[in-house]
Chain A
């Protein structure tokens, strides 16, 4: 549940989601669920020329199982907080 809560805090931020098929999509994080499915708004594909079919997609749902990376805004990462939360979770609390 840690990463679910973590991503929930990032809602509204600009992120880049890189998929296992190498497609990278940048957009505003709209929502996330327990499977780490992601909804993005105002999306644009990083490598637009190679993905012409994505041109008119503004909002999208991405299945959690196909995500390789989520690139976050630097200010969205509080390592200290994440570290503490990880230890808390590992202790079962």
Chain B
């Protein structure tokens, strides 16, 4: 991702062609940040303006506003250009408040924990 001249940024892997565009940044911990790319370097360190985190639990989602974010490059998995003409999410998904999404997140986490502990208790059965 070298710094390229203005004439070939669209041909190179440089993030320069994504500057000032609305992007989706996928992080290594699975988080999804959205915002406008204002700066970057060769490590894919990036500055997002007006960043928000999109939390998705089942068919519910919520955009939690974060402000200006500097992302350390090593945490970046993927930077996607958002097609503004297309629906961002499938129509069956509903937007909920941040309290609702936090509740849903907690419920999901508890469900997975429960599944894990049940499996642990049944381990003596040698299921697989």
Interface residues of A (CB under 8 A from B): 19, 21, 23, 25, 30-35, 37-39, 43, 52-63, 65-66
Q: List the 10 shortest-distance A-B pairs measured between CB atoms, nearest first.
A: A57-B80, A60-B80, A33-B13, A56-B86, A61-B79, A59-B81, A31-B13, A56-B83, A66-B77, A58-B83
Total interface residues on B, CB under 8 Å, equals 32
Q: How many A-B contacts if CB must be within 8 Å?
A: 83
**When the two chains form their complex, are residues A62 and B24 in contact, meaning their CB atoms are under 8 A apart?**
no
Contact B74 A56 (CB under 8 A): no
**Does chain A have a CB within 8 A of B11?**
yes
* A37 and B1 in contact, given A32-B13, A63-B76, A65-B74 (Cβ under 8 angstroms): yes
Q: How far is the CB of A65 from the nearest CB of chain B, in Å?
A: 7
